[in-house]
Amino acid sequence: MVIVSTAFVVTLLSLVGIAVVAGVGILGAIAANRLAFHHRARVSRRESIRTYYGHLALGH
C-alpha cells in the first residue's frame, strides 16, 4: 500500500513539474514573440493590427 501511494505521489509530482515547465516555456515564448513583434511592428503597426483582426475573423 505504501509503495503504491509513493509511486502515485512521484508520478503526480513529475506530471506537475512537467506542466509547470511547459507553462513557463509557453509563457516565455509568448513574451519573446510579443517583444519581437513590437520591435518589428513599429513601422507597420496598422498593417499588423489588420492582419491580427483578419486572423480572428477567419478563426485562426
Domain ranges for the chain: 17-58
48 Cβ contact list (under 8 Å, min separation 6): 37, 41
- Which pLDDT score, from 0 to 100, does residue 12 have? 94
Per DSSP, the residues of 6-31 read HHHHHHHHHHHHHHHHHHHHHHHHHH
- Dihedral sign of CA atoms 23, 28, 29, 30 in order: positive
pLDDT digits (tens, 9 = 90+) for 3-59: 778 989 999 999 999 999 999 988 888 888 887 766 665 555 666 667 777 767 776
- Which pLDDT score, from 0 to 100, does residue 34 have? 80
